[in-house]
Amino acid sequence: MGPLEGSGCPGPAGRELANVVALWVRYRAAVDLTMRLILIRHGESEGNASGVIQGRVDFGLSPTGVLQARATAGYVATLEVDRVVTSPLRRAADTAETIAGPLGHGVVHMPALMEYDIGEASGLSGAELRQRFPEVFTAYSTGRRPTFPGEEGRDTFHDRLQAALGEFSAMEGTTVAVAHGGVISSLCHIVVGLDIQRPGAFHVGNCSITEVVRDRAGRLVLARHNDTCHLRGLETFADRG
């Protein structure tokens, strides 16, 4: 299965107002909007722009990333937001500060939202990875999922994100959480019950919006994924970090 690109920004063609209203009514009846988690990937970073795997390397935002963060701030300012939390890595924290400013909120750093630690692969391009770790690419070609030296490990990553989801689920109101592509994609896997050992099912663009809500039975529901309507021509889809 290829990556799910999510809602993007679909045009109005073929949509009937009655169908949209009916879907909204069913949605509102099914969910408990006292808990709303808005996940936002950071704007394009210098690492994204140069095409490297970032991991924990602390890149700042590129000029395009700064514009994306401002556009996202304009959209989020139209919402009722109770708190803003972020990964401490600079590309996420700078995005979060831009978003929080118009809201009048401070930003809380949440280490559990840091990007997956890819170990010694951090900061390398695809060509550099193949040159330094040919055995890892050989293993991938045979269907195995090896790890790079110093890598965090998918089980540890899963436990970290599962704990973060538990914290978010206990929060009332609307939380904006700025994080990373690997984190948001894996949170989507967990919410819908897919194995995060099989990454890549959920694509997450820079400054895209993904939303998780709680239904009336107390279960978490993926309500929106990879929404980039607010970016209006500023979309970038770097898939690393």
Residue 238 within any structural domain of the chain: no
Task: Based on the fold, state whether residues 138 and 69 are members of the same structural domain.
Answer: no
Confirm whether 205 is domain-assigned. yes
Residues 95 and 122 placed together within one structural domain of the fold: no
**H helices, E strands: number in the chain:** 8, 6
Residue 166, domain member (yes or no): yes
Q: What's the pLDDT at 224?
A: 92
Averages of pLDDT over runs of 10 residues in the chain (241 residues) are: 54 52 59 85 97 95 98 97 98 99 97 96 91 85 81 94 96 96 95 80 93 88 93 82 64
Residues 122, 108, single domain; the answer is no
**What is the model's pTM?**
0.87
Give the C-alpha separation, 151 to 120, whole Å.
7
212 occurs within a structural domain: yes
Give the per-residue pLDDT at 200: 67
- Say yes or no: 85 and 146 in one domain: no
Residue 171, amino acid: M
Q: Minimal CA–CA distance to 91: which of 125, 49, 28, 127?
A: 49
pLDDT of residue 137: 77
The terminus-to-terminus CA distance of the chain in angstroms comes to 21
Domain annotation covers residue 68: yes
Does one domain contain both 77 and 167?
yes
Question: Same structural domain for residues 37 and 145?
Answer: no
Q: In this predicted structure, what is the pLDDT of residue 13?
A: 45
Q: How far apart, in whole angstroms, are the C-alpha atoms of residue 206 and residue 239?
A: 9
Same domain for 190 and 213, yes or no, is yes
131 and 203 share one domain: no
For the chain, list the strands marked E by DSSP: 31-41, 83-86, 107-109, 173-179, 209-215, 220-227
Please report, for the domain that includes residue 204, its CATH number.
3.40.50.1240
What is the pLDDT, as a whole number, of residue 236? Answer: 86
Do 162 and 140 reside in the same domain of the chain? no
- Quote the pLDDT of residue 219: 86
Q: Do the domain assignments include residue 23?
A: no
Write the single-letter amino acid at 209.
Answer: I
Task: Judge whether 61 lies within some domain.
Answer: yes
Report d(CA 226, CA 5) in Å as an integer: 6
Residues 102 and 49 occupy one common structural domain:
yes
Q: Which amino acid is at 70?
A: R
Q: Are residues 165 and 112 in the same domain?
A: yes
Would you state the pLDDT for residue 217? 82
Domain boundary among 131, 151, 171: 151
Q: Could you tell me if residue 217 is inside a domain?
A: yes
Helix (H, G, I), strand (E, B) or coil at 235: coil
Are 189 and 177 members of one domain?
A: yes
pLDDT of res. 58: 96
CB 49 within 8 A of CB 64: yes
Number of domains the chain contains: 2
- Domain holding 132, by residue range, is 118-151
Beta strand 173-179 with 31-41 is parallel
